[in-house]
């Protein structure tokens, strides 16, 4: 791994030396999904699903909580860096997202949402996925008023898109204790089939409104996050039930990505195997410089996995040695490792290709 990480760094340096980063600097970036990728939209909403107070953001460049569910940077931030963007995308609801800054892209993600409209209802005011897509259409109209419709179309079609959905359809819907409506309605395999068929509609819609390069993340190992270990694990083993959910969901997601790409006749959608990326550091945390992948840095109770990360929680002194920042979300360093794999992972991690291949291919088109 050390050598493949070194290789990944080398490739990044090489790409920037070749000037591809310069050519890519104009590429816009759009983000859709849940708390794994929310950059702060929920700060502007009346909801309990938020990360806008300390110690969130303790390692962010400003040292302040931004709404990112991380001690510092999150996955979209590292992707912005990887594509050579001048800055991270702002949350769509941020009043500073105006004028020229719109051309960098925008982040529409909202913590707590899922594929289904009834996921995360307990968080009340969150931006569900179809609303995020509507906002993207509204965004396109705003940009069109600045640079005209043709330039807008090329900005949209030349953009990189990231969508992260699905985890909440399990942890904040199907598996809500004691008994959720969805778990009474469906057994697990049928529920997964249902949400996958709904996800396919979302992805198709994303394509219809202009997306041409879309990174689609699978769910992580849902049963191994500190929150689930705290609630469901006797001796620190991952929850078999939630692992079964992830094991059903992820391959079917790859399957619909195959189907959509073949319908479209182009590799618009790219599957990101976040499951495998997490499993790597869950099965051997030391190899990645983590002392633990079971205990969250910020939290309380067993595995620091109970309740929320707040100013009253336990807080680990060295955030760099924890794979999980809070009971559900990776630490900044884990996010960086995930994006290294997105950038240069093999086909086990990125199907049908990785981000550096995408960047190299798309730069030739211009
Ligand atoms: C979710 O809501 C959107 C927009 O309100 C609607 O178009 C869609 O059909 C709904 N999905 C389901 C599964 O009900
Ligand atoms: C992924 O990225 C690296 C760097 O561009 C490349 O060498 C590698 O072949 C790519 N693809 C796969 C499938 O490994």
Grouped pLDDT means (10 residues each) for the chain, 366 residues: 46 41 66 97 92 97 97 98 94 96 97 96 93 98 97 97 97 90 97 98 98 96 95 94 96 98 98 92 93 97 96 97 97 97 96 96 78
Asked if 225 and 327 count as a contact pair (C-beta separation under 8 A), the reply is: yes
- Rounded distance from Cα 29 to ligand 1 centre (Å): 25
pTM for the predicted model, two decimal places? 0.92
Helix (H, G, I), strand (E, B) or coil at 298: strand
Number of domains forming the structure of the chain = 1
Containing structural domain, residue 238: 2-365
- Catalytic-role residue among 70, 239, 326, 331: 326
d(CA 35, CA 215): 16
- Measured from the Cα of 357, ligand 2's closest atom is 5
d(CA 207, CA 133): 11
Residue 169 is predicted with a pLDDT of 97
Nearest ligand to the CA of 347 is: 2
Catalytic annotation on 362?
Answer: no
CATH code at position 140: 3.40.50.1110
Q: Is the peptide bond before 55 cis (omega within 30 degrees of 0)?
A: yes
With 0-12 CB in 10 A as exposed, 13-18 as middle and 19+ as buried, what is 96? exposed
Gyration radius of the chain over CA positions: 19
How do strand 214-217 and strand 160-164 relate by DSSP bridges? parallel
Q: In a mutational test of the pocket of ligand 1, which residue from 121, 130, 196, 203 has the highest number of ligand atoms less than 8 Å from its CB?
A: 130
Residue 142 is predicted with a pLDDT of 97
Residue 366 is predicted with a pLDDT of 58
Catalytic annotation on 329?
Answer: yes
Nearest ligand to the CA of 116 is: 1
Provide the 10 A C-beta neighbour count for residue 59: 17
- Rounded distance from Cα 334 to ligand 1 centre (Å): 34
Catalytic annotation on 35?
Answer: yes
Quick one: tokens of 179?
């008994």
Helix (H, G, I), strand (E, B) or coil at 67: coil
């Amino acid at each position: 791994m050390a050598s493949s990480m070194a290789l990944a760094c080398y490739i990044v340096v090489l790409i920037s030396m070749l000037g591809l980063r310069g050519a890519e600097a104009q590429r816009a970036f759009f983000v859709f999904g849940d708390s794994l990728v929310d950059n702060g939209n929920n700060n502007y909403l009346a909801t309990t699903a938020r990360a806008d107070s300390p110690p969130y953001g303790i390692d962010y460049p400003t040292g302040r909580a931004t709404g990112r569910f991380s001690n510092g940077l999150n996955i979209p931030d590292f992707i912005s860096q990887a594509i050579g963007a001048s800055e991270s995308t702002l949350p769509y609801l941020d009043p500073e997202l105006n004028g020229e800054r719109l051309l960098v892209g925008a982040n529409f993600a909202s913590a707590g949402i899922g594929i289904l409209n009834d996921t995360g209802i307990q968080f009340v005011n969150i931006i569900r996925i179809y609303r995020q897509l509507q906002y993207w259409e509204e965004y396109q109209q705003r940009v069109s008023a600045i640079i005209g419709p043709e330039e807008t179309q090329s900005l949209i079609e030349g953009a990189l898109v990231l969508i992260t959905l699905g985890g909440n359809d399990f942890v904040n819907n199907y598996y809500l204790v004691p008994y959720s409506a969805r778990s009474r309605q469906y057994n697990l395999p049928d529920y997964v089939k249902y949400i996958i068929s709904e996800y396919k509609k979302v992805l198709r819609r994303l394509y219809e409104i202009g997306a041409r390069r879309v990174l689609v993340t699978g769910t992580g190992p849902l049963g191994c996050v500190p929150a689930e270990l705290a609630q469901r694990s006797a001796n620190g083993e991952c929850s078999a039930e939630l692992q079964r959910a992830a094991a059903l969901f992820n391959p079917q997601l790859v399957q619909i990505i195959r189907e959509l790409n073949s319908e479209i006749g182009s590799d618009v959608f790219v599957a990101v195997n976040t499951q495998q990326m997490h499993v790597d550091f869950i099965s051997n945390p030391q190899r990645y410089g983590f002392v633990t992948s079971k205990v969250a840095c910020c939290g309380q109770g067993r595995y620091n996995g109970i309740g929320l990360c707040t100013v009253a929680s336990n807080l680990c002194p060295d955030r760099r040695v924890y794979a999980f920042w809070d009971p559900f979300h990776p630490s900044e360093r884990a996010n960086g490792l995930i994006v290294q794999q997105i950038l240069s992972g093999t086909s086990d991690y990125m199907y049908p290709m990785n981000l550096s291949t995408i960047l190299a291919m798309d730069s030739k088109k211009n």
